Amino acid sequence: MSAAYLGDTDSEDEVPNGWEERLTEDGRVYYANHSTSQTQWIHPKTGARKYVPKELPYGWTKQVDEDGTVIFFQESTGKKTHTDPRLAFSRETKQSVYDFKQRFDASSTAFQVLNGVDLTGKRALITGATCGIGLETAKSLAKHGCEVILACRSSSRANEAIEEIKAIKATAIVEFVKLDLESLTSVKTCANEVLIKFRTLDYLICNAGVFGAPFKLTEDNYERTFQVNVLSHFYLILLCKPLLISTKGSRIIILSSESHRSSLMTPENICEEYLSPRVASNFVAFLAYGDTKLCDAILATEIDRRWGHEGIICNSVHPGNMISTEISRNWWFYRLLFFIVRPFTKSLQQGAATTVWGATAEELNDVSGQYLNNCWLCAPTEKVTNRDMGESLWSMSIAMIERVMGVLPANNK
């Protein structure tokens, strides 16, 4: 099948005059030179080989007239064209798993990342999805056909979030499961409900977190910031492992932060007493946040080391600096500071972009154990890839969970 070039990519990718970009029936891109009547597989300017997704972009259908003419129809606009819309989403063939072109950046929104992407049949569980970046992530995925599970504490806030999502897409499939990250028992109850109700889980997005919260011990006798930001999410991931393994290409996204670079945690001091102190005198909220965000990035790397061979992809992401969300609610000074810098920070849609890109981008199908920022691969601190720190954090976290909940099955570790 041939198709005229759509012309909505950058100038470097445009074909020269007299050339036409075409598609074979199986989705391979080739190039026709009208002056010589010859064809070739490589781009005449860049020398790259390209391919297109197997499926049509979201919202497009293919129709064949009685005379055999193929017409593509966009449902939302009523537009008809003979040009295969997949050409607008062509990709260069990668020479390695990390060899791909950057399509988005710090200014991109989650909706832009998902342009043309059909997530029908996919399922995502998102923690902290009733407000801020979590809600924006849920809206974006649901708009493109993904079934979304909101894992959060409040049923009333979940219902409000569901109404907001359905205002964008009335047919969206959205469910609520109760989850209180200050309780390991609640985590287990939530995971059990998910395991009973569902057979697959494509995206597990650990989004919830606390910042600047005063010292508090949870019902499990652990420091709140560490338990909410790290330990409970880790426990949820462990419990959901069977679902993730049974879902081909499943991905875990753990929200970290550039604050991980400020952490004072080292291979020498990484221990329970440092990360989860029992007394307020050993706790500094701002430093604790940086420590937990480093732990999140380390765990993403360690999950890849341990589970990568089972087909699970896990990456950590930084959504953006000081985005206006409820995360600043714990101290008036933080609320004031976030208000002052608001005009210079990302919007919620921009803040959700890297999470959504990490969860759904086709170019990341084989990319795991990485730290993502501004919809791209970003080098974290060396501590993130320190194997000793990864093993210490893993063992320590398992021991803290088992102390409260009993011994975990070996296949969940």
3-class secondary structure, 100: coil
In a domain, 213, yes or no: yes
Q: What is the pLDDT of residue 327?
A: 58
The one-letter code for the residue type at 164 is E
Whole-number Å distance between alpha carbons of 5 and 16: 11
Instruction: Point out the residues of the chain with pLDDT beneath 70.
Output: 1-12, 25-26, 93-97, 320-345
In a domain, 103, yes or no: no
Q: What is the mean pLDDT of the chain?
A: 88
Question: 198-210 as b/e, with b when 16 or more CB fall inside 10 Å?
Answer: beebbbbbbbbbb
Same domain, 163 and 224: yes
- Judged by phi (left if over 0) then psi (alpha if -120 to 50, else beta), residue 369 lies in left
Tens digits of per-residue pLDDT, 269-298? 999 999 999 999 999 998 999 999 999 999
In a domain, 98, yes or no: no
Same domain, 71 and 145: no
Same domain, 72 and 208: no
Catalytic residues: 289
Query: 292: how many CB neighbours lie within 10 A of its CB?
Result: 29
Q: Choose one of 57, 92, 127: the last residue of a domain.
A: 92
- Judged by phi (left if over 0) then psi (alpha if -120 to 50, else beta), residue 285 lies in alpha
Tens digits of per-residue pLDDT, 2-56? 333 333 334 457 888 888 888 876 677 888 888 888 777 778 887 777 778 778 8
Residue 322, domain CATH? 3.40.50.720
Report helix angle 232-246 to 285-307, nearest 10: 20
DSSP state of 55: S
pTM here is 0.79
Pairing state between β 147-152 and 123-127: parallel
User: What's the N-to-C CA distance of the chain in angstroms?
Assistant: 49
In a domain, 129, yes or no: yes
Whole-number Å distance between alpha carbons of 52 and 60: 15
Q: Choose one of 61, 92, 123: the last residue of a domain.
A: 92
Same domain, 82 and 120: no
Same domain, 173 and 242: yes
**Which residue spans within 7-55 are E strands per DSSP?**
19-23, 29-33, 38-40, 50-51
Q: Choose one of 62, 92, 122: the last residue of a domain.
A: 92
Same domain, 80 and 138: no
Same domain, 82 and 184: no
Q: Residue 240's closest CA among 205, 216, 292, 209?
A: 205
Same domain, 268 and 186: yes
Whole-number Å distance between alpha carbons of 115 and 9: 14
Contact partners, residue 68, CB within 8 Å, separation at least 6: none
In a domain, 100, yes or no: no
Q: What is the pLDDT of residue 20?
A: 87
Same domain, 241 and 277: yes
Q: What is the pLDDT of residue 194?
A: 98
Same domain, 345 and 231: yes
Q: What is the pLDDT of residue 118?
A: 95
Same domain, 267 and 303: yes
In a domain, 1, yes or no: no
Same domain, 122 and 82: no
3-class secondary structure, 27: coil
Total domains in the chain come to 2
108: its two tokens: 């991109």
Domain that holds residue 324: 110-412
In a domain, 138, yes or no: yes
79 within 8 A of 73, measured Cβ to Cβ: yes
